[in-house]
Amino acid sequence: MFTLNQAIKRLQTIAIEHAQLNPLLLTESTFSHFGFGDLWEVGQILTDEGTVITEKFPLVWANVQGANMTSQGAQSNGLLTVTFQLLFMDLVHKDETNENDVLSDTLQIATDFITELQDDTEFQTYHYTVDINGNLEPFTERFDEEVSGWSLNIAFNIPYSANCLVVPKTDIIS
């Protein structure tokens, strides 16, 4: 079964392979343009001892919104739906002269993510589908008024077997 860790890794891989986010191949010494965690953690990326860490931008940030399970009962197949909020963002100059450019570029990155996630080969390779839940919502002057971009909710639909025979169990010694 496709796991939460694999979903996060899939999002990270798309970000690493995206030319606008990483124009050069990443090495261990360079910053990744993908982050995962609570939204308040995004603000920590913006400053390092009072300095903006510009090497991290543009940035795609993902956080888990929740999960839902549906099943028709014993011996049937079920569906695990894991919902993420994705933020596509970049730094805006203090005078906001590049705000339209940032919104345009980050919208293109968001569109590219949707395209990658809804590719038919995704299901063939990873055995999940992705639903886009709602609209792309723009934001400006977020996280200490440093970034603008777009937010998007997506849902990974992951099939699983609701058969108790596939649940790992230990031998109980009596």
Residue with tokens 């940032």: 102
**pTM of the full structure:** 0.82
Give the pLDDT confidence of 127-172 residue by residue, as tens digits: 788 888 678 999 988 776 688 999 999 999 988 776 555 666 777 7
Residues with Cβ within 8 Å of residue 65, at least 6 apart in sequence: 83, 84, 85, 153
User: Strand runs (DSSP E) across the chain, as ranges?
Assistant: 34-36, 59-71, 77-91, 129-132, 137-142, 147-161
Q: Is residue 120 part of a domain?
A: yes
Give the pLDDT confidence of 88-98 residue by residue, as tens digits: 999 998 888 99
What's the total number of domains in the chain? 1
Q: Is residue 71 part of a domain?
A: yes
**Tokens at 125, concatenated:** 């390779």
Q: With beta carbons less than 8 A apart as the criterion, state whether 126 and 2 touch.
A: yes
Q: Give the CATH number, domain containing residue 147.
A: 3.30.2000.30
Q: Is residue 154 part of a domain?
A: yes
Q: With beta carbons less than 8 A apart as the criterion, state whether 142 and 151 touch.
A: no
Give the pLDDT confidence of 26-84 residue by residue, as tens digits: 554 455 788 888 877 777 776 666 666 767 889 999 999 999 988 766 666 788 999 99
Q: Is residue 18 part of a domain?
A: yes
Q: With beta carbons less than 8 A apart as the criterion, state whether 75 and 161 touch.
A: no
Q: Is residue 167 part of a domain?
A: no
* Domain residue limits at 17: 4-162
